[in-house]
Amino acid sequence: MHRKGRNNAVAAATDEVGCPWAIGAMEGGHKSILPELGTFADFENLVSQARSHQLEIALDIAFQCAPDHPYVAEHPEWFRKRPDGTVQYAENPPKKYQDIYPFDFECADWPALWTELKSIFEFWIDRGVRTFRVDNPHTKPFPFWEWCLGDLKRQHPDLIFLAEAFTRPKVMYRLAKLGFTQSYTYFAWRQSARDLTEYCTELTQTAVAEYFQPNFWPNTPDILTAELQTGGRPAFVRRLILAATLSSSYGVYGPPFEHLWSVAREPDSEEYLDSEKFEIQHHDWQRPDSLQTLIAMVNRIRREHPALQTNGGLRFHPVDNERLLCFSKSSVAGDQRVLIVVNLDNEITQAGFVNLPLQEWGLDATRPFAVHDRLTDARYEWRGPRNYVELHPHPWPAHILEVRPGMG
C-alpha cells in the first residue's frame, strides 16, 4: 500500500500516485494490497509464476506510515509526538519526510507495537515471500532487530533480509551482526582503483568478512551518482560489470539503470529527475540502447562461474596504469579462476601491463597460456606474469577472462 499524492509530471495522463515508502491509505496498511493493483489471489499467482521461472519475489518493508494508514487512527500511541501533541514526521538527516509518520519504538505500548511489526513479516512469509529489503533499519532500535530477526530466523532459517542502510560503517556492521543477511554498501561512491581496492579488501580480507555480506548496487531509487550522470553508456557498463564481479551479490535499480537514466533533479543532487517513487513510467522494452542484453550476459557468466559467486577468493593485482583496475576471483575448490580488468575512464582508451601470480595459479611462467574473454568471446595467448591489456571505453570497457591451468 502507498499513500496517494499529486504527481504534476504525469497528472494529465494518469491518476494520482504516491511514494511507495509512505505506507498505507484508507484502503489498508502493511498487510493489504491496493485494489487497483490486484488481489491476494493475484499475488499468490505472481509468486507461483515466478518460482516456475526459478525466480523469487522480494518484498520491500518500510516501518513507517502515511497519515491515513489505519494504524494512525487505531493506535495513535504508537507514533512519535511533538510537545504540542501533533505527530512528528520522519527524518533521516539530511532528508525530511513530511508525509511519513514514524513509529515510536519506545512508546508505553512498545510490546504490542513490536509484536505487530514482526507479524507483518509473518503475514507475507505465509504468502510465499522469503526475501525482504528493509528500508532504513538503522533508524530503528537495535534491540528490536535482534529480537525480531532472531525469532523469525529460528522459525524460517531460509529467510533473507537486506539492510538498506547508508550510514556509518559501525552501524552497518552492527546491523549485520544482529541478523541482516546482506547489506547495502558504499560501492556506488567508490570509483577510483585505489578506493575500490581498499574498500573491497576491507570487506573480503578482514574480520568484517565474518559477519558482513555486501550487496553492490551502482544505483538505487535514491542514488544517481555523478559518475552515472556524466559518464554516459561506458559508466553504466563499467559499474554493472564491477558490481557483478567484485561482489557475490549485486543488484541494479531498473529499468532506470538498464535504460541509462542520467538526469538528476537539480545540480549537485543524486536524486532522479523523473523518479518512479512519484511517477508512473511507461518503458520501451525494445529500445536499442537498453542494457538488457548485457545484464543477461553478465548474469549468465556468473551462473557458469562459481568463482564469481564468492567473496573470499577476491584478489587485486598490480597494473602500471591507475586508470585500470585488475582483480581475480577463484572458486572455493581453487579449480576455477576468473580475471577481470576494467577501464575506469569514460572517454579515453587505457592500456597497461598487468602482473599475475602465475606460480600461485599453477601456471608455468615459461609457457604460453590462453585467456578467454566471456564478454566478447575473444581469446588471447599470454606468456609470463606480465601481459599487455588495452581497453576502449566503448563498447567494452572491461575483460572478464577465464583462466585455467593447461589451457595454453
Name the active-site residue from 56, 122, 135, 198.
135
Gap between the Cα atoms of 220 and 61, Å rounded: 15
The grid coordinates of residue 359 equal 606460480
Q: And the C-alpha cell for 306?
A: 562459481
Q: What share of the chain is helix, strand, coil (3-state, %, to 5)?
A: 30, 20, 45
Catalytic residue, chosen from 42, 164, 222, 279, is 164
For residue 149, the Cα-to-chain-centroid distance in whole angstroms is: 20
Give the C-alpha separation, 288 to 305, whole Å: 28
What crossing angle do the helices spanning 292-304 and 232-246 adopt, rounded to 10°? 20
- The yes-or-no answer on residue 74 being catalytic is no
Query: How many other CB atoms are there within 10 angstroms of residue 19's CB atom?
Result: 20
**270 an active-site residue?**
no
Instruction: Return the closest-CA partner of residue 160 out of 245, 61, 52, 243.
Output: 61
Q: What separation in angstroms does the CA of 110 have from each of 105, 148, 205?
A: 6, 13, 40
Catalytic residues: 135, 164
